[in-house]
Amino acid sequence: QVRLVESGGGLVQVGDSLRLNCEVFGRTFNRYRNTVGWFRQAPGKEREFVAAIRWEYGTTEYADSVKGRFTISRDNSKLTVDLQMNSLKSEDTGIYFCATGRNVASAMMSSGYDYWGQGTQVTVSS
């Protein structure tokens, strides 16, 4: 069993930065096989992929909409994953979820993730 706890959301202005944090708890989390991803869901829209990191080698993937603005990173000793968000836009508003899965084939597909956090709200105001 794995538990994920997100933090760092809030209300910011267009152009501001925000850093989200995801803490991973649970002995079954596998540093060699697990991927941690960030997804978001805006009101009235489906959940969409934002970024992911494959834990073993730290390889990353990003949605086109956030490339060059967001950076995902991990801390192996703390078992945390951060999402640094810069140059925020109003369309970045939504609930941001952290998720993890083992042997995830496609990091962009939410169906590949087994455990999800409760989410943290990000609101970007213009």
Quick: pLDDT tens for 5-58. Answer: 999 999 999 999 999 999 999 988 888 899 999 999 999 999 999 999 999 999
Which of 104, 122, 107 has its CA nearest to residue 37?
107
Confidence category of residue 99, pLDDT binned at 50, 70, 90? very high
pLDDT value for 74: 97
Which of 32, 40, 20 has its CA nearest to residue 97?
40
Which of 72, 74, 96, 92 has its CA nearest to residue 12?
92
108 — alpha (psi -120 to 50), left (phi > 0) or beta? alpha
CA 62 to chain centre: 10
pLDDT value for 27: 86
